[in-house]
Amino acid sequence: MVEIDLNKENEEDFSDPIGFVDDIKDEVLVPDVLHQKPVIDEFEECAVVITGVPVIGSERVGKLQNVLTKVLEKIEKKVKLFIPVGPDGASLGVLLSEWPDKKVAKFAVESLDGYAFDKNHTFSAKLFSEMKLMRPPNDDWKEPTKQPYTDVGDLWWWMQNDRCRDQFAVSYDKNGVPTVGVYTHMKGHDPELAGDNDIAERANWTETVFTWSPHGSYLSTIHQRGIILWGGVEFKRAHRFAHDGVQCIDFSPCETYLVTYAAPEDRGKWWEGEKDCLKIWDVRTGELKKSFSAFELTNKTQLPNWPFFKWSFDEKYFACLKAPEKDKLEKEKKIDGISIYETETFELLNKRPVIIENIKQIDWSPASNLLAYYSECTDMSPAEFGLLQIPSLQRLRSARIYNVADAQMFWQKSGKRLAFYTMRYNKKAFRETGEIKYVGGCTYHVDIFEIDKKDVSLMNLPLPEAFIHFGWDPEGDKFCVLTGNQTKAAPHVYKIEPNSHAPKLISKLDAGVQYNEVQFAPKGGWLAILAKVSAGGNVMFVDTTLAEAKRTNVIEHPLFNNGYWDPTGRYFVTCSSLGGRNGADLGFRVYTFQGRELCRKSMERLAQFKWRPRPPVKLSEQKQKEIKKNLKKISARFIKQDDDEKCRASQEVVEKRRKIMSAFDVIRNRNKELVAAQRDARIALRSGIDTDATLNPDEFVEEEITIALSTSRTAAPISEEDDFD
């Protein structure tokens, strides 16, 4: 008993005294939960404030009331309205209205916002609850000062290289410091820095990664405080975009807009940081066009994919999947729509998302405002692949397929065709763990929409084996499908003929190990088939310009994890960078389009390799024809230039080597003299023998030694007599 008492005495009392009131507010304790707290007040959601109403004298307020009542009653009879007036009885240009429930109120906002009352008056409507969230304008607001225009020089200077050489940028560790360097690719020898040492190559240029803008005008770097774009001959700072903790960036296709994203949780309190975690900027003016909340866009605290917005080819629109809604049990439903924004206003097209059930993937046509979509199949409905015309939202064509387990879409770069691959199952079963299991094998198909054809024709191509990857010839009418499995993957090249209903197989190439990607050269015709991140590291180069596709070469670059065509399709680079397999030698190798190795370079901690994209330069048809016709004549000139250069280069190398050698010889001779001066000491140390003197072969004594290399026991003759017998 004593023991227990002792314990009690030692125990501190942590319970609150009676009548204690906690003075910590909920806002401090659970702000993230409160952030999502629904507003209880129904009334505020039923009241709509309308501005933009005519301002009139007191005598005509009654008349205005009548007219407005008529307008509003068209929406709902049970509306109550009130026109506030000033001290002199004149209206203030504001109208307050109250609706029977929040659904009607919401509808009223949608219909009244932007309603043209007369020639001079357009309404803008807002829910009272939303109105409450508005902040008064900052009293200290000042007109922004004019920013001086920074002229960084010609943004496309590298396009004027007289040998049409392309540039690329790499990020790697130079002497242990992360460095980004921009180089010019020189055919046949080592790449050269595209400028002076500290200009084109800088230590810690970016904190994470770099990117080229889509036309190659800018090199963009990511920093803790935001994004910097660099351009011109000297890579001067062209623009800055402040965005704390920015992680991802994406350009619109013509470089007009820049999208930046910072993960909310990295900016302290996510419910505060997340309101503007996604920002769209105007690249040229640096103006912030719009900021988004990731939570509103996706119903999640983090973006699920990047780039999140898909841009139309002309930047008129950008789209993303709508946020999934939640059912009554707070369980997330499948996504049922696409949000399409216009860049003219940065508002939703038609103010509302396009509803498509079970939408999974969207993809813009690279050449027109067509949006391709894929909606998953469910037990009740088939999967749907469709083409949506924007802004009319007309469904150009759609295909419905049952039992689709997996699908992918591939646009041809010319925008003429869209291919989609589907894996179709026979039967579906659920395992006990809830996993889906497909019973009875699957079939693989590639279907192709031809946009230009009447009514958008659809072609079907069943595949004999499992699908691995697909690639379009960007301009032509060929494509390549990779089928098979890990150990045996076979590329098939098909051609689409104008009057045929199915693509025609023109070549089946030799199967290879672990091929997993198809890449057509950007200008078409040539094809690389890659076995990324494999021990063999093969790349097969294929010529599809002729009637039959022909393999030109297979190269090996063990464990390479990326391959890129240069923007002109003249060179192909394989590179092994961080993030690939462990133990790979980091570096890159450059090949011609036929697979002849031109140069290989190892780089410490190589993180990125990126060719500098080229802006689109459209030559007239006639000019292109002319060039094609005179190709032989022109190429002879280029070959001569190449040879001259090679000659000059080797002379330069010899010259350089001579210089190095003569500089080295100075040190060598000095040391030689020092060694020679030790001659007496050397002889003395080796008891009078000059071991430095060349040995005279005449003094050698030849000695022959016989050594038994192996001995073995044999039966010896017993006696001589036996031998004679």
In the complex, the residues that contact another protein under the rule CB under 8 A are 176, 535, 558-559, 582-585, 602, 650, 653-654, 657-658, 660-661, 664, 667-668, 671-672, 674-675, 678, 681-682, 685-687, 691, 707, 709
Q: Is 604 left (phi over 0), alpha (psi -120 to 50) or beta?
A: beta
- Can you tell me the distance from the alpha carbon of 108 to that of 696, in angstroms, rounded to the nearest whole number? 112
Counting other chains too, the contacts that 507-511 makes at CB distance below 8 Å and 24 or more residues apart are 507/544, 507/548, 507/549, 507/550, 509/540, 509/542, 509/549, 509/551, 510/551, 511/484
- Can you tell me the distance from the alpha carbon of 493 to that of 480, in angstroms, rounded to the nearest whole number? 4
Find the Cα–Cα–Cα–Cα dihedral 519, 524, 527, 528, rounded to 10°: -40
Q: Which amino acid is at 289?
A: K
CB atoms under 10 Å from CB of 401, counted, come to 17
Least distance (Å) between residue 358 CB and another protein: 44
- Can you tell me the distance from the alpha carbon of 78 to that of 193, in angstroms, rounded to the nearest whole number? 74
Least distance (Å) between residue 163 CB and another protein: 25
Nearer to another protein among residue 284 and residue 648 (C-beta): 648
Nearer to another protein among residue 173 and residue 477 (C-beta): 173
The token pair at 390 is 């924007």
SS (H, E, C) 16-55: CCCCCCCCCCHHHHCHHHHCCCCCCCHHHHHEEEEECCCC
Least distance (Å) between residue 574 CB and another protein: 15
Least distance (Å) between residue 323 CB and another protein: 45
Least distance (Å) between residue 660 CB and another protein: 6
Least distance (Å) between residue 559 CB and another protein: 7
Nearer to another protein among residue 36 and residue 694 (C-beta): 694
- Can you tell me the distance from the alpha carbon of 154 to that of 151, in angstroms, rounded to the nearest whole number? 9
Least distance (Å) between residue 652 CB and another protein: 12
For 78, 97, 243, 320, 390, the CA distances from 48, given in Å and listed in that order, are 14, 5, 35, 29, 32
Nearer to another protein among residue 28 and residue 681 (C-beta): 681
In degrees and rounded to multiples of 5, residue 61 shows phi and psi of: -60, -40
Least distance (Å) between residue 697 CB and another protein: 12
DSSP-based three-state secondary structure for 518: strand
Residues 6+ apart with CB under 8 A from 241: 226, 227, 228, 229, 258, 260, 279, 281, 286
Q: Residue 210's beta-bridge partner residues?
A: 221
* Helices and strands, counts by H and E, the chain: 14, 41
Nearer to another protein among residue 36 and residue 710 (C-beta): 710
Nearer to another protein among residue 642 and residue 655 (C-beta): 655
- Can you tell me the distance from the alpha carbon of 202 to that of 606, in angstroms, rounded to the nearest whole number? 15
Nearer to another protein among residue 19 and residue 176 (C-beta): 176
- Can you tell me the distance from the alpha carbon of 363 to that of 188, in angstroms, rounded to the nearest whole number? 39
Least distance (Å) between residue 533 CB and another protein: 13
* DSSP letter assigned to residue 265: G
Least distance (Å) between residue 699 CB and another protein: 13
Least distance (Å) between residue 582 CB and another protein: 7
